[in-house]
Amino acid sequence: MRLDREKDALIVVDLQHDFLPGGALAVGDGDAIIEPIARLAPAFGTVVATQDWHPRGHVSFASAHAGRRPFETAALPQGPQELWPDHCVQGTRGAALHEGVPDAAVTLVLRKGTRREVDSYSAFRENVGPDGGRPTTGLGAWLAARGVRRVFVVGLARDFCVRATAADAVAEGLEAVVLDDLTRAVFPERSAETDAALARAGVERATAGDLER
């Protein structure tokens, strides 16, 4: 799979301290992908780093729902909402991108999940909000303006924000490829479900070793 530096973009999803070992919502083995992503990033002319950036009391926090615990699912008016430990709170160290994310290669840092009442897994659109809509982040138009036609998605976590970002990229008219070896999952035992969801969305899968620069 040959890379086109001008028409391909790398989307690095949520490499933040709270999702890494020792963090509030640590993804197992998440730190193992930081260095290989940093080596890959300079091969792209466009690199987007996403960042969960939640206000205190965010709808995705179990602590915002009386009597609920992390990893439960709450039935909200807009639909099911996974509940998590408080994480990536705006301005905290846990919300900061890991120092291994190659700042010199990053073209855009996109913050998501910034509204208290709406979660946002995808880099392209928020989750369904109380009004039933999924507002765009503007990333699709921004990439189109730069001439990007294909995105490679890496980062954390494969079964949530990586999956949603890749699926929404296809919905935006882009080709999308998830580099499996440069992702890690919250629930790796459910990988078959994630694989099926990616396939239904028209997302390709590959590994970093499949890429020709």
The CATH number of the domain covering residues in 8-54+90-210: 3.40.50.850
pTM > 0.85 = yes
Cross-strand bridge partners of residue 161: none
To the nearest 10 degrees (0 to 180), the angle between helices 191-201 and 163-171 is: 10
The two beta strands, 79-82 and 108-112, are: unpaired
Which pLDDT belongs to residue 154? Answer: 98
Q: Is 7 a catalytic residue?
A: no
Distance CA 176, CA 179 (A): 10
Which pLDDT belongs to residue 49? Answer: 98
Q: What is the pLDDT along the chain (213 residues), one digit of tens a residue?
A: 999 999 999 999 999 999 999 999 999 999 999 999 999 999 999 999 999 999 999 999 999 999 999 999 999 888 899 999 999 999 999 999 999 999 999 999 999 999 999 999 999 999 987 777 899 999 999 999 999 999 999 999 999 999 999 999 999 999 999 999 999 999 999 999 999 999 999 999 999 999 987
Secondary structure element (H or E) that encloses residue 167, with its range: helix 163-171
The two beta strands, 150-156 and 73-76, are: unpaired
Q: Which of 8, 14, 86, 159 is catalytic?
A: 14
Token pair belonging to 97? 């991108």
Token pair belonging to 88? 């990536």
Which pLDDT belongs to residue 213? Answer: 78
Q: Which of 8, 52, 161, 180 is catalytic?
A: 161
Distance separating the N- and C-terminal Cα atoms of the chain: 9
Q: Which of 31, 52, 88, 112 is catalytic?
A: 112
208 close to 180: Cβ distance less than 8 angstroms: no
Cross-strand bridge partners of residue 89: 54
